[in-house]
Structure 1
Amino acid sequence: MITEPDFEPVTRSKIGLMFRRLTLLVWGLPAALGCEPHAPDAERLQSPQAATTPSFENGIVRIAERSLRFLEIDDVNAEAGRAAVRAPGQIVFRDGAVAEIGAPVAGRVSEIHVRVGDRVEEGALLISLLSPEAASARAASAAADAEVRAARNELERQVRLREKGLGVQRDEFEAETRVMEAQAAAASAALAVAMLGDETGALVHIRAPISGMILDRSAALGASVDPGGETLLRIGDPAALWLMVDVFVDDLPLVQEGAGASIEVATIPHPLRGRVESVGAVLQTQLRRAPVFISIDEQQSANVALRHGMYARAQIEADVLHGVMVPASSVVIRDGRWFATYVEVREGGTEFEQRNVVVGQVVDDYVQVLSGLEPGERIVVRGALLLDGTADLLQ
């Protein structure tokens, strides 16, 4: 017994679906435009309606007069339009407005002086550590300073001996070398101690590098800490917030630094004023977006409860677009690559020229046409898809 392949039922189903769709397109679409099913050539030539039979020849689509009611035709105007780019985003801290506090030296947390939500000033005491390494570093720095003093004393003695005619020049040179070596070692030790603060012994105080609010705290009393380890505290300046929005790559040419923006936050009843500060240079490949950073009017932001992480939407003012702006419904895509419109050949007539156009930016429901149309021409603004489908069927 011969069996059919497993994939054949699926293929037949798909073919049947395509056939039904094609049937609807061939019969339904011409009917909507006043087309009649194809008759033999002799009958069509003898028919009194032959002059109005739908046709497509030399880029001209001809339809029956009664089909005009399905179309809307309007004049092409050369008007300048201001574009606006709309994009979602999030309220975030500005660059330099967040500080992550870690341990400068290995040790143990002996005291925590702040809590989450506290406001602190630059230099405020945050955490105290007890560190044997700090004690050793301070002792080494003190020893290095003592070595410098001893080397200088020896150099002074050699100079006095030489002046009295009792010294040897070689000994004086060696004393100078020891002074320079001691000074270098002392400078290195002092640099290590400077990171530990002005305290003495094993005590290390960690202070705030910026003014702001304690955003989170992971430090715990008695916990062991190490340089380069876990962040102990995070400080952020709540007054240094801006909006970061993700703008589609196609809209990026419209966004310029310094452009105004209107910002909408769900929890704030009125829009906030903003200004584009910078446009990110790195593109998110998968999303085809790039970050745009918008500052928020200081006077307005001071009177509302903005928080890091809030979601918002921005409408960015773009440059004025010059040229022809036509309704998006008047432009159709041909073969997935070309854009076309249908231009009325004679006012009130039934012939329309299929015209390829080059489009620019899309603003709301309008498309900028860079070339292919001239002001004063009349185009189909509603029903262009029907004309396009008819042209495909009659080719």
Structure 2
Amino acid sequence: MKRVLAVIAALLVAGCSAQAENPAPRPVVATAGGPVRVRLDPAQLARAQITTATAQKRRLGLQVLTGGQVQSAANRTLQVATAVDGLIERVNVQAGDRVQAGQVLAVLKSNDVSQIESELMQQVLELQADRQQAVVQVNLTRSQRDRERKLFDDRIGSRADYEVAQSEYQKALAALTGIDSKRTALITATAERLRLLGALPGEAVRVVGERRVDDRVYIRARRSGIVTERSVNPGELVDADDSKPMFAVADLSEVWLVGQVFEQDIPRVHTGLPVSVRIDSYPGKTFTGRLDYVAAALDPDTRTLAVRATVYNREGRLKPAMFARMTIATGSVQVLSVPAEAVQKSGEIYVAYVPVSGDTFEERPLKLGRTIGNYVEVLAGLKPGEPVVVRGSLQLQGQAQQLAS
């Protein structure tokens, strides 16, 4: 029994000696007075799935980022109002409906229209009575002219009598023509008045033909688009002098995005710059446009400057009042840079990890400049052409912090 225990003890001592001679790879090796180096064993390397990128000079687009709100473009929006006082009889659309130019949005009953049509009908009736008398006069003077002509041809009557009869006939004919012209002008003028008030096309001709007054006015869309505002309901009285529109119809194939930029960004912002817009409702979708307005003065409360971009929206996805993120492209610059994912914060400094062998990585303190898109400008700490760890850099930082603690 003692012999067996002695053998086991000898094996344990031999095993400990072997481990001392061949230690397992430590995760971090700090060289004396030198940079921190992290070494990973095969299992750690497999889990980290390390990828690298090269520190190099890249031409990067400069940007100003801001939030904003979508608005319908004022130059593509028409306010629809009434030209007469009246009572709303029917409303045919809701806010958000798509309408075509000429489509009836609402119908109202107006005393102004009925009065105009009544006056037209009365004047036409008076002209009709005048015309009947004029027709009688034309017939009489024509008969008198024909008789005088026959007498003159038979050498019984005088030329003077015939010429007087001919003149009277021409006067009667001119009077009849004048009445017809007056009737036509009256109908044309009334039709234009009714058209401006919103009556149906051909309404004046209908009144004359049917001798019936219709007091309805048809409020129509003057352009195709989306109804963005509706402020009336059936049964309401509307006033032509009221400045509030009944409807607003907007063409949303282009919209405005209004945002604010901070004071430090003002020197880089001007009209004409391209913009890209992203919105949470459509992840992965980017809308494009151009900056077309920069305010002349700061908002004294927020110390920001209002800007506005016209954004293309042909699919109609952007809706008024939506919030969006706007990126204003202000130019480009060529700088030494690495992907932002390669940079980690370690205490008060930023670091990146440079491969020095298949399983060992050197921690490099960095002096950084601007973050431009997905890249970070490197002012010191790396040289052009040096590789840096991108995927896996967070795991390397964790190993380094584990040793430091």
User: TM bucket by the smaller chain?
Assistant: 0.3 to 0.5
TM-score (normalised: structure 1): 0.47
- Greater Rg by CA: 2
Bigger RCO of structures 1 and 2 (CA < 8 A, at least 6 apart): 2
